[in-house]
Structure 1
Amino acid sequence: MNHDPADTDAVAELQKLLQLQQGACRAEGAVSAAIRKDRLRRAIAMLVRHRDALSEALDADFGNRPRVVSLMMDVMGAITSLKFARKHVGRWMKPRSCKKVMPFGLFGATGRVEYQPKGVVGILGTWNYPIYTTIAPLAYVLAAGNRAIIKPSELNPHTAGLLAQVVREFFDPAEVAAITGGVELGRAFSALPFDHLMLTGGTTVAKAVMRSAAENLVPLTLELGGKSPVIVGRSADIQMTAKRIMLAKCTNSGQLCINADYVCVPRERLESLITAMSAAHARLYPGSYTDNPDWVSIIDARHCSRVDGYVAEAAARGVRVETLGGPFEGPRDKRLPLRLVIDPPEDLDIMRYEIFGPALVVLSYDRLEEVVAGINARPRPLALYYFGKDATEERYVLDHTISGGVSINDVAMHPALEDAPFGGIGNSGMGRYHGYEGFLEFSHARTVFKAGWFDPRKLIGMLPPYGDGKLERMIDRVIRSSMPS
């Protein structure tokens, strides 16, 4: 294997950075609320000052990405997390008192839980939202009092390079550093003895990262993805449903981990939903996908070919394909139209793999129970969506499925709840961030017991020798009295 010399240099730099930050952690000790808030303030200032340059870098990486998309989803999204963490960190980090241990509590013994920084956290971002997937987690890493090393995706070279530059402007490398490089650097990154490692990415990469991290027993937060379903109930408003599916599915040309991957609709409503989605798409993105300025390009030729291949395979098998924003002229400047693939068989790649791009499977169904069974037969998704007005049906879906999160009568809105955990389960990830749960994710909760002014163990017969049987009889009475009535 040929190694990139630049990556080799970056690996050496990374190792030095980790040692620098570890030493700084040990020297600093406890991290005050004021220091944490200041680091969060500087991260906000960094994004505010460089928002235009970051948007331009994102546009250069994608080939076409409207400034408003980058400002809204990457810059503002990350700032929202930073502001929320800064507002609440003082309350989050306060020690929590524990219930007293009897009878020791009668004599002044206390217990508490203190939330310590774990140390140095590594953050591996991904390419679809490279600012958000590095800086939003950083908000909770810093709120927990940690230091951090960030590695943006190598698929965003302009954004990664600029992010490394602006981080140096606002942070000492002993606090926060960003390092750029390719695949070799990514492997080296995940193999280092961080105190915690966060990855946003795909399942295949996550498994490799997890194997590397296991060598050092590094705890992980994995934000992945999967095939997130939309269930359209018979009580759903089809026009509203179609509009909201299109709003989400067309965002970033479908390159969003919580996006709709397949839609399940009652068989008798299939055609009305397809018609409504086509009309909603035409209102949002009029004209052709080849020249609409709001239609985001796919990140690179490989991913463009991957998504196009999913649809081409289905068409070759005689599956119905509806093109929105067409007619279809093939990939143009890494752009593809949104295409609906109607009722494909299960053995096609588009049914087996996460689409993560401008294609959407539409499946017709007769009974809701069949839909739920199909969802449960797949790996657990990062998100699940239900449209309908039937409260009993809604509850059935919630009670009989498991997913990272849920939006009802909308798509991809639950992550906007900053004061609620965001994360996957199983193949869609582990761990969570956002809100108080994000603070806890990157903190070490340490229990502290403090003995009181008198030790009652001798007085109540808890010390050996135990030959008289008094302690045993007392324990037996307590055990027998514990039986629920």
Structure 2
Amino acid sequence: MSRAPGAIVSVFERLQQSYVLGKTKTYAWRKAQLEALQRMLSENEAAFVEALNTDLGKSEAEAFTTEIGFLLSDIQHTKKHLRQWMKARKVSTPLVAQPARSSLQPEPLGTVLILGAWNYPVQLTLAPYVAALAAGNCALLKPSELAPASSALMASLIPKYLDGDAVAVVEGDKDVASELLSLPFDHIFYTGGEAVGKIVMTAAAQNLTPVTLELGGKSPCVVDANTDIATTARRIVWGKWTNAGQTCIAPDYVLVERSCADALIDKLGKEITRQFGNQPLQSKDYGRIVNERHLTRLKQYIEGHEIVIGGQLDEAQ
């Protein structure tokens, strides 16, 4: 979209108007839009794989499993249950309102903002949109600027497949995000870190806008002597090395009983080799760190510590 002065406000007002006119409220419209989104992903799978490889070094298998296939499954599930989710639900009637009958009718919130994340740039932008669309909302999507190829692809394809009166994509950096956060959206969905989450919540409070924040946390693995060490090592390596560890629920440390620590370390090394070869840096199945700033942060974690497996860096990649 245009970055001319007032362009973002103009898009926001267009989405608001579409919602007020009731365009998004019918089952037929929502189902048709879900099917259009499904076609967009299926017909452009190769382009999405290429964009994800450009941004994060994702392999074709990983791109499909963690992003494209994930979304296709989500859309299929949503289509299957959409009609039921939209139905009114009978509830008890207070004595003062009898003999009337009562029910709860799900209603859309209105116009929502979705701030996507860089680590799963397609999935974490479009999965929230699937839910927003199914609920009958208009939506403004801002993909992460740290995954520019994926962001540009979504910005290009979404207007071609989906109803432009009910969804729009805005690309840009934190200044664009700040402008978006100043607008009176009916809901904001943000995926990312705690620091920016606080900024989002503070900005939303100015308009009394409810928010959904998907933030980071700690994901320890606890291993005791009764554990199947080989199975444990395989699962830890899969969970930690998928997307080069850039997953909010990836294992970030291991608490292991001393009696089996050496055995676990040995199995972890063998499992890394099994999954990524003797030279993981050369493996097409091993993703890359998103940018230099994040690589520098990760380097600091291992400085001054004993490295028992790997430790080599290729900053050129």
Fold match (TM-score > 0.5)? yes
Of 131, 138, 141, which residue of structure 1 is paired with 2:132?
141
Aligned twin of 1:291: 282
Q: Conserved in 2, the CA contact under 8 Å of 1:231 and 1:265?
A: yes
User: In the alignment, is residue 268 of structure 1 matched against residue 254 of structure 2?
Assistant: no
Aligned twin of 1:99: 92
Please give the alpha-carbon distance, in whole angstroms, between the structure 1 residues aligned to 2:171 and 2:147: 10
- SS of structure 1 residue aligned to 2:204: helix
Of 202, 217, 224, which residue of structure 1 is paired with 2:208?
217
Aligned twin of 1:207: 198
Aligned twin of 1:171: 162
User: In the alignment, is residue 70 of structure 1 matched against residue 70 of structure 2?
Assistant: no
Of 20, 24, 27, which residue of structure 2 is paired with 1:26?
20
Q: Conserved in 2, the CA contact under 8 Å of 1:125 and 1:199?
A: yes
Of 234, 237, 250, which residue of structure 1 is paired with 2:241?
250
Q: Conserved in 1, the CA contact under 8 Å of 2:24 and 2:137?
A: no
Q: TM-score if structure 2 supplies the norm length?
A: 0.95
1:201 deviation in Å? 0.7
Of 312, 322, 325, which residue of structure 1 is paired with 2:308?
322
Please give the alpha-carbon distance, in whole angstroms, between the structure 1 residues aligned to 2:68 and 2:133: 18
- SS of structure 2 residue aligned to 1:97: strand
- SS of structure 1 residue aligned to 2:25: coil
Q: Conserved in 1, the CA contact under 8 Å of 2:225 and 2:259?
A: no
Aligned twin of 1:57: 51
Q: Conserved in 2, the CA contact under 8 Å of 1:37 and 1:86?
A: yes
Please give the alpha-carbon distance, in whole angstroms, between the structure 2 residues aligned to 1:201 and 1:10: 28
Q: Conserved in 2, the CA contact under 8 Å of 1:124 and 1:134?
A: yes
Note the alpha carbon deviations across 1:90-121, whole angstroms, 9 max, x for none: 0011111111323753xx22211111111111
1:9 deviation in Å? 2.0
Note the alpha carbon deviations across 1:331-356, whole angstroms, 9 max, x for none: 3334xxxxxxxxxxxxxxxxxxxxxx
Please give the alpha-carbon distance, in whole angstroms, between the structure 2 residues aligned to 1:273 and 1:11: 58
Of 1, 7, 23, which residue of structure 2 is paired with 1:13?
7
Please give the alpha-carbon distance, in whole angstroms, between the structure 2 residues aligned to 1:250 and 1:276: 15
Aligned twin of 2:116: 125
Please give the alpha-carbon distance, in whole angstroms, between the structure 2 residues aligned to 1:287 and 1:190: 47
Please give the alpha-carbon distance, in whole angstroms, between the structure 1 residues aligned to 2:23 and 2:294: 45
Aligned twin of 1:473: none
Of 280, 290, 301, which residue of structure 1 is paired with 2:271?
280
1:234 deviation in Å? 3.4
Of 284, 289, 302, which residue of structure 2 is paired with 1:311?
302
1:12 deviation in Å? 2.9
Alignment CA distance shift 1:278-1:259 (3 Å): same
- SS of structure 1 residue aligned to 2:196: helix
User: In the alignment, is residue 89 of structure 1 matched against residue 82 of structure 2?
Assistant: yes
Please give the alpha-carbon distance, in whole angstroms, between the structure 1 residues aligned to 2:4 and 2:206: 21
User: In the alignment, is residue 79 of structure 1 matched against residue 65 of structure 2?
Assistant: no
Q: Conserved in 1, the CA contact under 8 Å of 2:151 and 2:171?
A: yes
Aligned twin of 1:46: 40
Aligned twin of 1:302: 293
| Structure 2, gaps ≥5 residues long | none
Please give the alpha-carbon distance, in whole angstroms, between the structure 2 residues aligned to 1:178 and 1:145: 17
- SS of structure 2 residue aligned to 1:310: helix
- SS of structure 1 residue aligned to 2:289: coil
Please give the alpha-carbon distance, in whole angstroms, between the structure 2 residues aligned to 1:104 and 1:215: 37
Note the alpha carbon deviations across 1:338-376, whole angstroms, 9 max, x for none: xxxxxxxxxxxxxxxxxxxxxxxxxxxxxxxxxxxxxxx
What is the one-letter code of the residue matched to 1:65? K
Alignment CA distance shift 1:56-1:10 (3 Å): farther
Alignment CA distance shift 1:103-1:332 (3 Å): closer
Please give the alpha-carbon distance, in whole angstroms, between the structure 1 residues aligned to 2:186 and 2:96: 37
| Structure 1, gaps ≥5 residues long | 1-5, 335-485
1:193 deviation in Å? 0.8
Please give the alpha-carbon distance, in whole angstroms, between the structure 2 residues aligned to 1:269 and 1:329: 26
1:10 deviation in Å? 6.3
1:302 deviation in Å? 0.6
User: In the alignment, is residue 333 of structure 1 matched against residue 316 of structure 2?
Assistant: yes
- SS of structure 2 residue aligned to 1:260: coil
Residues 453-464 of structure 1: matches in 2 within 5 Å?
none
Please give the alpha-carbon distance, in whole angstroms, between the structure 1 residues aligned to 2:173 and 2:6: 14
Alignment CA distance shift 1:52-1:183 (3 Å): same
Q: Conserved in 1, the CA contact under 8 Å of 2:273 and 2:280?
A: no
Please give the alpha-carbon distance, in whole angstroms, between the structure 2 residues aligned to 1:103 and 1:149: 42
Q: Which has the higher helix share?
A: 2
* Aligned residue pair count: 317
- SS of structure 2 residue aligned to 1:226: coil
What is the one-letter code of the residue matched to 1:52? A
1:175 deviation in Å? 1.3
What is the one-letter code of the residue matched to 1:96? R
1:179 deviation in Å? 1.2
1:130 deviation in Å? 0.5
